[in-house]
Amino acid sequence: MTDYLSTGTLPEEYQQLALTVRDFTQQVVAPVSAKHDAERSFPYEVVKGMGDMGLFGLPFSEEFGGMGGNYFTLCLALEELAKVDQSVAMTLEAGVSLGAMPIYRFGTQEQKERYLPELVAGQALAGFGLTEPGCGSDAGGTRTTAVRDGDEWVINGSKQFITNSGTDITKLVTVTAVTGQRDGKKEISTIIVPSGTTGFVVEPPYHKLGWHASDTHPLAFTDCRVPQENLLGDEGRGYANFLRILDEGRIAIAAVSVGVAQGCVDECVRYAGEREAFGKTIGSYQAIAFKIARMEARAHAARAAYYDAAALMLSGKPFKKAAAVAKLVAGEAAMDNSRDATQVFGGMGFMNETVVARHYRDSKILEIGEGTTEVQLMLIGRELGL
């Protein structure tokens, strides 16, 4: 990966992965993308295809059925998928970085052996239950509680905006909950709640502006009992552990955003070379050419930002600031490019059957999910000592 930063060329194995996912995206994802978006239906056949390809196992060790790759390989796959369908990309992103990764990073050997094989194979999905009503960006304001009763945890509370939480193949959600107090502060832990557990209710899906084919639900827990061994990681370390997961996830979200930004460029280059106005292709007009050139510059800069953050992460160096920078600039690039692409397409850009129209609706959440733009600015400022 560092070869790319110095020479502009990815190593062969990374190039082959990107090309393989690109082919899958064009042959399998693109033909059904508009249909699932219009029907607001979950793309089970696409998810199965991604599982068969090993995409859900990219950053996991072979011990649990993974591909033995790294987090950057996941990001490359996400970038390619997001060029065409953000919902599909987010299903993979959340399934890996938010669903399986907490168990991989912090689970006991027994938990890993029980849950990871299906998650890594894409045969099952897991949700990441962090956000709550009234405390979105303020994750430390968690109100959901988990009280120990004998050898069980009794969970009460609610979560919102939880991806992959209500599909037919959802196996579990991991939830943050207050399990006590220490030095006058909340002690937050993470607990695994299998799907179908009594007292755990997946409420009806949201009617969202975008990401129509991505599964998103509010969750309710009422005297929900799970065994004590469902604690994920050390008691009281749930908040810290999830912050680590979010730092990594921001790199993945940046990769999704770069895919969107580049996808908009690619669509505009194609359309501007075909659409004629006043006797010439619209791409021959400087106003259009300059607009697309700026779009390309945004995508290029955002890609360099997430590559840099991933390189720091994989080398074991501090990457919090770099991840926040990548998330910030890539999210804005996706939003700006989708808006400009809609303008380039004119009236056709307002039609839902076009990729750019779907990107325009979908992209706004990239400036909100897994840390808003304002949160990223706050994190960058803190890392600068401000």
Burial 99-115 (b: 16+ CB within 10 A, else e): bbbbbbebbeeebbebb
The CA distance from 55 to 47, in Å, is 9
Helix/strand/coil for 66: coil
Tokens of 254: 């940046």
The one catalytic residue among 62, 370, 374, 383: 370
Which residues, 6+ apart, have CB-to-CB distance to 316 below 8 Å?
Answer: none
The question of whether 370 is a catalytic residue gets the answer: yes
Which residues, 6+ apart, have CB-to-CB distance to 352 below 8 Å?
Answer: 34, 37, 38, 358
Q: How far is CA 127 from CA 107, 267, 354, 370, in A?
A: 15, 32, 30, 14
The CA distance from 118 to 169, in Å, is 10
Task: Give the strand pairing for 170-182 and 125-129.
Answer: parallel
DSSP element (H, E) containing 226: strand 216-227
Supply the residues annotated as catalytic. 370
